[in-house]
Amino acid sequence: MHQAAHSSDENVAGVTASADEAVERGKFIRKITSLIIVAAAVLITLYVWGIIERHPRTDDATARANVVGIAPRVAGQILKLNVQDHQAVKEGDVLFEIDPEDYRLVLEKAKADLAAVDRQIAQAHSTLQRLEPLLPKKFTTAESVDEARTKLTTLQAQREGVVATINLEELHLSYCKVIAPFSGRVINLNISAGAHVTTGAPVFSLLDTSKWYVIANFREAEIRHMAPGSEAIVYLSSAPNQRFRGKVQGIGWAVKPEGEIDLPPSGVPYVKRELNWVRVAQRFPVRIEVENPDQDLFRMGASAVAIIKGPPAR
CB-based burial, 71-109: b 16+ in 10 Å, e otherwise: ebebebebeebebeeeeebeeeeebbbbbbebbeebbee
105 vs 95: CA distance, rounded Å? 24
What are the pLDDT digits (tens) for 103-138? 999 999 999 999 988 888 888 777 766 666 665 666
Residue 38 — pLDDT band, cuts 50, 70, 90?
A: confident
Tell me how far apart the alpha carbons of residues 85 and 205 are, in angstroms, rounded to a whole number: 10
The answer to whether the CB of 205 falls within 8 A of the CB of 214 is no
- The helix (H) or strand (E) run that includes residue 189 is none
User: Each residue of 11-37: pLDDT tens digit?
Assistant: 555 556 566 676 777 777 777 887 788
Global pTM reads 0.70
Whether residue 224 is predicted with pLDDT greater than 90 in this model: the reply is no
The whole-angstrom separation of Cα 204 and Cα 272 is 29
CA torsion 20→25→31→36, rounded to 10°? -170
Q: How does pLDDT run across 51-77, given as a tens digit for each residue?
A: 555 678 999 999 999 999 999 999 999
What pLDDT is recorded for position 13?
A: 55
